Homo-oligomer: A and B are copies of this chain.
Amino acid sequence: MKKTNIPHRFYLKENQIPSAWYNLRADMPEPPDPMLNPATLKPAVFGDLKPVFCDELVRQELDDTTRYYDIPGEIIDVYKIYRPSPLVRAYNLERELDTPASIYFKFEGNNTSGSHKLNTSIPQAYYAKKQGISGLTTETGAGQWGTALAEACSYFGISLIVYMVKASYEQKPFRKSIMKTFGAEVIASPSDTTRAGREILAQNPGTGGSLGCAISEAVEKAVTSENYRYVLGSVLNQVLLHQSVIGLEAETAMAELGEYPDIVIGCAGGGSNLGGLIAPFIRDKIQGKYNPRIIAVEPKSCPSLTRGKYAYDYCDTGKITPLAKMYTLGCNFIPSSIHAGGLRYHGMSPILSKLYHDGYMEAIAVEQTKVFEAAVNFARLETILPAPESAHAIYAAVSEAIKCRESGEEKTILFGLTGTGYFDMTAYEQHMENKIIDFTPSDDDLMRGFSGLPKI
């Protein structure tokens, strides 16, 4: 029965911020396949990852069995500045669509970083600080992750070097400014500051870079700098663990409202937002308590789940990272330069890949032009200008709500609105000028990507 007495924006109380992260792996019938050391092809162990990541984060990365991780009080204190995030009922969108469905979204854009990425940048910077690390390196595509990490590092007083995909660096000058405002050093990637970058530049001097390439540079910089570590904003198990705060809060808020989602939707690039949002709902599904549909939404131009292979692959273009078993387009796959930079990654979180492979999750791929149409309409109705990444989820939620109109079903739809689009105005301008082009890789494009998969 559709409820009409729910507030537009529902906030949990401060003491309802989760006190522990939820480690979905512990409840999966089969855990995701382990990362492999690329030299030995054996499962990566603590010592393999220790030079790259902070110790505590390595432990979290490798731990498939601990169900809950208590969140340290120092991290909760920072979460309190912007969490709990609101659960929003999209009444205006429902009215416009004339749908019997109830549409909710968990909005993670209410902080300067503008996205959910702060949920993991804070613990990653905190653990680095606690371990006495001097500085961190990372890469950023759209810039949301770099911004969130710059904020967290500034808060805890740690140095940060960000390799920013060159195409974004040039298209989004203000993303660079905001990272610098928080004290980060920002380098366009590929750069001449690393061997990986120099090699890529030598092969292709005019390249706009890619996330895979920026990862290579950031990892190299970390392991070759004194007392530095590398951090990543998506894909990894540790990141999905931290992002479980999204899903846990959403679950609690919906329960307080007497609701439970029939459909849970999130955009998927590396998978961190989706993995965090769906964690408790997948648990319910595994335990047979409820059976919500879970839908990952990816861009047609970078369709790792819908057209990729489930295989071991490198996480980066320079092939210096461990191997992860995931849905991948091949680490050599160069995605077209779409506007949702956060979704331009060749692979997908191993946890989500496993869930998709085992049938717990669906995936769809959508075109950019449709995504921007959905974004502008949403902004008009709900006073939030979404990031292009987030708008993928909006598009899918709208599609499901329209199906409900046609079938008359009063379904409850929950989607993740990961961030705001204030730094994506160039893309919105192109949309208004009808200059956005849809791109779908050909089978040949995909074959070229797959040809680079390691032979294991």
The chain A residues found within 8 Å of chain B, CB to CB, are 7-9, 11, 13-14, 80-82, 92, 110-114, 118, 151, 154-155, 173-174, 177-178, 180-183, 376, 379-385, 420, 422-423, 425-426, 428-429, 432
Chain B positions within 8 Å of A118 at CB level = 383
A20 vs B239: C-alpha distance when bound (angstroms): 46
Chain B positions within 8 Å of A383 at CB level = 81-82, 111-113, 118, 151
A425-B7 contact, Cβ under 8 Å, with A82-B383, A383-B82, A384-B112: no
Chain B positions within 8 Å of A155 at CB level = 380-381
Partner of A112, one of B11, B174, B379: B379
B180 touches A111 (CB 8 A): no
A384 vs B113: C-alpha distance when bound (angstroms): 8
A151 vs B381: C-alpha distance when bound (angstroms): 9
The 7 closest A-B pairs by CB, nearest first: A174-B425, A422-B422, A7-B14, A177-B425, A8-B80, A112-B385, A111-B383
A11 touches B11 (CB 8 A): yes
A110 touches B110 (CB 8 A): yes
A14 vs B11: C-alpha distance when bound (angstroms): 10
Determine the residue in chain B with the shortest Cβ distance to A110: B110
Chain B positions within 8 Å of A178 at CB level = 385, 425, 428
A111 vs B8: C-alpha distance when bound (angstroms): 13
Chain B positions within 8 Å of A423 at CB level = 422
A429 touches B177 (CB 8 A): yes
A81 touches B181 (CB 8 A): no
A81 touches B382 (CB 8 A): yes
Determine the residue in chain B with the shortest Cβ distance to A422: B422
Chain B positions within 8 Å of A385 at CB level = 112, 178, 181
Q: List 19 A-B contacts (CB under 8 A).
A: A7-B13, A7-B14, A8-B14, A8-B81, A9-B11, A9-B82, A81-B382, A82-B383, A111-B384, A112-B379, A112-B385, A112-B420, A113-B383, A114-B422, A118-B383, A151-B380, A174-B426, A177-B428, A183-B380
Determine the residue in chain B with the shortest Cβ distance to A82: B383
Chain B positions within 8 Å of A80 at CB level = 7-9
Chain B positions within 8 Å of A177 at CB level = 425-426, 428-429, 432
A214 to chain B, nearest CB (A): 22
Chain B positions within 8 Å of A11 at CB level = 9, 11
A380-B14 contact, Cβ under 8 Å, with A181-B428, A422-B422: no
A7 to chain B, nearest CB (A): 4
Partner of A9, one of B14, B180, B381: B14
Chain B positions within 8 Å of A151 at CB level = 379-380, 383
A9 to chain B, nearest CB (A): 7
Chain B positions within 8 Å of A381 at CB level = 155
Chain B positions within 8 Å of A9 at CB level = 11, 14, 80-82
